[in-house]
Amino acid sequence: MHWYMQVWRKYAVFSGRASRAEYWTFALINLVISVLLLAVDTAINSRVPDVLYGLATIVPSLAVGCRRLHDTDRTGWWQLIALVPVLGWLALIVLMALEGTHGPNKYGGDPKSHAVGAAASYPA
């Protein structure tokens, strides 16, 4: 839950780096919440809860995706590859699953480093 809340604390922070744990924990919890909200939507015959949650998570999802790509020393614009049907999504999943660069890179300090990770994730 720590990583999920970490993403919400950095709601619109597109600079810095995010570890695989931060990104994938956020993605997994988002998936679980979306499935639960879909069940609620079905029960009340409305799409409002799921749509509202989806709208609320657009910015933090893009931000953590950008920071995750920064950890692999890529620009956040690589998220646009998801616009390519099927192959784009697969390529983005692979990019998000890659191990980040060790030590600092041009986007900040290594998020795995306890001394640097918390401070380097925020903009200067």
State the CB neighbour count (10 A cutoff) for residue 11: 12
User: Residue 108's beta-bridge partner residues?
Assistant: 105
60 in Cβ contact with 93 (< 8 Å)? no
Q: What is the pTM of this model?
A: 0.84
Q: Which DSSP string corresponds to 31-52?
A: HHHHHHHHHHHHHHT-SHHHHH
DSSP state of 1: -
pLDDT in tens, 73-117: 999 999 999 999 999 999 999 999 999 999 999 999 998 875 444
